Amino acid sequence: MLTINALHTAYGGLKALDNVTIRVEAGQFVTIVGPNGAGKTTLFKSISGTVMAARGDIQWQGQSIMALPAAKRPELGIAHVPEGRQMFKELSVLENLEMGAQTAAAKQQWSRNLDQVLTLFPVLGERRNQLAGTLSGGEQQMVAIGRGLMSAPKLLMLDEPSMGLAPKITDMIFERIEEIHKNTDIAILLVEQRVAEALASCDYGYVLQSGRIALEGTPETLMKDETVRSVYLGL
């Protein structure tokens, strides 16, 4: 579905990604872990088109999308849930969800997708008319994920969904991400610093360090790697 080949990206005048190659197959759950500054967010921005890569290629279903404007990429089925949630704080919960439903597929599937979001996050139904800026951090993260789902995606990219959340809320968010993976055919690409939780439920993982892929493999392989165990898991 998504193939990134030898991607090089400079961001803010600095090399952020160096020869990065990753794949996400249809319906697959792929996790990318790594420290702050490793290039994880830049990778997502490169895929969504808000940062232009210098070299390499990004292919979607076998076709290069390097020249495709960022505004056109959601129509392909690529949804980017950004770091820090980025709510429309002066809009209601429902209006924020409506902002995600701008693609042709999303408009056709509005009712079904809204039912899916409110089933995953019932509290959003209770707060549908509440201003998003007045929600708790966990509720805002639910809105952000819901907004991504409202676009009828084939690929859901989640950038640090646990950021700033209490452990109990983080556990719930990860449970919902697992539900999306198990109960839909949506592929998930997750960027996360909480390595144990991120690797626990994915199909395949990459470790990104200083803009390069340092390790890759199944969760079992990565969890056994001594570098991952000592640097990321504290074992």
Q: Is 132 inside a domain boundary?
A: no
Q: Counting Cβ atoms within 10 Å, is residue 14 exposed (0-12), middle (13-18) or buried (19+)?
A: exposed
CATH number at residue 205: 3.40.50.300
pTM for this model (two decimals): 0.94
Q: Is 128 among the domain residues?
A: no
Tell me if 113 is assigned to some domain.
no
In a domain, 96, yes or no: no
Model pLDDT for residues 137-175, shown as the tens digit of each residue: 999 999 999 999 999 999 999 999 999 899 999 999 999
Looking at the domain assignment, is residue 112 inside a domain? no
**C-alpha span between 107 and 103 (Å, rounded):** 6
Note the pLDDT of residue 63: 96
- Would you say residue 227 lies in a domain? yes
Number of domains in the chain: 1
pLDDT(235) > 80: no
> What is the domain range of residue 67?
1-71+190-235
Closest by Cα among 211, 191, 223 to 81: 191
Across 103-147, the runs of DSSP E, i.e. the strands, are none
Separation between Cα atoms, residue 186 and residue 179, nearest integer Å: 11
Asked if residue 41 belongs to a domain, the reply is yes
Could you tell me which residues are beta bridge partners of residue 30? 189, 204
Are 58 and 47 contacting, i.e. CB atoms less than 8 angstroms apart? yes
In a domain, 196, yes or no: yes
Radius of gyration of the chain (CA): 17
